[in-house]
């Protein structure tokens, strides 16, 4: 379960000497060691809500703060009442301020897992996005990651498509898969970070073999370029998942991104992932070649810290 709230404050103290304060809120939860970690989603643990006066040099000035649980914030919303901010003192005393916090909106949203969707009868819909940046090497050269071996030996991109696609396609009744490329100059010379792999207006291909054929054809018609951007293809996949969800289509989308290079739009990618986090969509990133992919480890949030967008949403 996730909760969306709109908060506002009134009657705040002005802490700027020659101008009005520029207040903003920071919400944190208390960890087991007593520290506070900024969050946007939490259980019903006490939250530390702080109101600061913004300063462009980063030295923000605390106006006031309070501790409230999610259930207490919900009660503020239902009662249409405010809670007074306090100003902490080093002596352990707290000054109650006239400034108040109000909860203008409180919405609970149920958050579904991958297993929730599958157990509810959702089909899988496979999607793939392939890296066409120049760092892959010229496709006609044998040392290129895009080299198509006449003997039939699969390159790294083909192997990833086959290994993931062969499994997922059996859970998709129509076996029509969206297939895109990114980081290349398309048939008209335009640099694109999300283009249809088959070179037509239709983004879908027939089955895994359709992906393999479209990929091989694109290598003859697309010029490798760059840089390596993920946010465009993630946003496209999220848009499709959102439309399907809104239209009552019971499909769970799996986007496979295959890349050889270091990501150059890391924050934009994190923003796109956070925006898509409530959708029936999973994203698999497979790295090929010898590049250092440690930069991308932040995207999986395996260390327990959730991804945070540039707007503070997690």
Measured distance CA(260)–CA(135) in Å, rounded: 7
- What value does the mean pLDDT take over residues 236-264? 92
Measured distance CA(272)–CA(202) in Å, rounded: 24
What are 158-180's pLDDT values in tens digits?
999 999 998 888 888 889 999 99
> What is the helix (H) or strand (E) element at residue 214, kind and residue range?
helix 207-221
Res 18: pLDDT: 67
What are 64-73's pLDDT values in tens digits?
999 888 889 9
- If DSSP codes are grouped into helix, strand and coil, which group holds residue 287? strand
- Global pTM? 0.69
Domains belonging to the chain, first-starting first, are 2-109 (2.60.40), 114-300 (3.40.50.410)
Q: Residue 132 — very low, low, confident or very high, per pLDDT cuts 50/70/90?
A: very high
């Amino acid at each position: 379960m996730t909760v969306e709230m709109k908060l506002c404050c009134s009657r705040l103290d002005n802490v700027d000497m020659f101008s009005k304060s520029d207040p903003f809120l920071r919400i944190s939860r208390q960890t087991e060691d007593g520290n506070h970690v900024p969050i946007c989603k939490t259980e019903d643990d006490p939250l530390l809500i702080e109101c600061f006066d913004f300063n462009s040099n980063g030295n923000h000035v605390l106006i006031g703060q309070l501790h409230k649980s999610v259930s207490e914030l919900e009660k503020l919303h239902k009662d249409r009442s405010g809670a007074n901010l306090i100003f902490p003192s080093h002596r352990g005393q707290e000054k109650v301020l006239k400034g108040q916090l109000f909860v203008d909106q409180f919405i609970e949203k149920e958050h579904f897992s991958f297993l929730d969707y599958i157990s509810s009868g959702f089909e899988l819909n496979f999607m793939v996005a392939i890296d066409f940046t120049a760092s892959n090497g010229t496709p006609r050269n044998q040392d290129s990651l895009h080299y198509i071996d006449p003997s039939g030996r699969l390159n790294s991109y083909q192997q990833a498509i086959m290994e993931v696609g062969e499994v997922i396609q059996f859970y998709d009744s129509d076996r029509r898969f969206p297939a895109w490329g990114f980081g290349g100059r398309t048939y008209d010379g335009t640099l694109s970070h999300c283009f249809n792999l088959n070179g037509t207006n239709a983004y879908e291909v027939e089955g895994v073999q359709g992906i393999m054929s479209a990929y091989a054809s694109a290598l003859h018609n697309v010029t490798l370029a760059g840089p390596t951007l993920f946010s465009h293809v993630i946003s496209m996949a999220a848009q499709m998942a959102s439309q399907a969800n809104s239209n009552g289509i019971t499909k769970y989308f799996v986007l496979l991104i295959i890349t050889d290079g270091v990501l150059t739009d890391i924050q934009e990618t994190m923003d796109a992932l956070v925006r898509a986090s409530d959708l029936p969509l999973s994203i698999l990133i497979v790295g090929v070649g010898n590049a250092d992919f440690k930069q991308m480890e932040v995207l999986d949030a395996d260390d327990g810290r959730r991804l945070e967008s540039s707007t503070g949403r997690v």
